[in-house]
Amino acid sequence: MGGAEELVFRLGAESYAVGVHAVEEVVDAMPITLVSRSPAFLLGIINLRGRIIPVMDLRLRLGMEPKEHDIDSCFMVVQLRLGDRQLPIAVVLDAVEGVVDLAPEQIDRQTSIGRHSAEVVLSGLARDGDRILLIVEPDQLLTEELLDRAFSTV
């Protein structure tokens, strides 16, 4: 009661979580159409049932090494706010681990993991048994400030 339902996914050895309310769907990885002069973390676009959706490599967005897609790779389509509009974006994940219901006492949003930086997409930590989940704030995946800075350097 009062818990948060979170989609848990993996990037490398770490487990992350994002509120299911922000997740539109999870789909198998598919071919990406490259878009020239885009920042490295924006891989291109996909055509998902007639919708053109930008694709972000979350590993690159978080400063991790890129990874080739494998059998577990997938895209998580999330709706995020960009300025005054809603934008769907497909986020490349190494694997989805499932959905968990986290009680408020399992979540620590007071942690100081660089929250006030445009580079940071994490809004807290959660304890789920023996593992720690890094909580992703969907609206921080892509911000106008980040886009302005990224496109000014390409």
**Domain harbouring 79, CATH code:** 2.40.50.180
Q: Give me the domain span that covers residue 71.
A: 4-152
The answer to whether the CB of 41 falls within 8 A of the CB of 35 is no
Whole-number Å distance between alpha carbons of 69 and 52 = 20
Give how many domains the chain has, as a whole number: 1
pLDDT of 76 reads: 97
Q: Provide the whole-model pTM.
A: 0.85
pLDDT digits (tens, 9 = 90+) for 44-97: 999 999 999 999 999 998 888 999 989 999 999 998 888 788 889 999 999 999
Residue carrying structure tokens 């490295």:
40
* pLDDT tens digit sequence for 22-47: 999 999 999 999 988 888 899 999 99
CA distance 101 to 22: 15
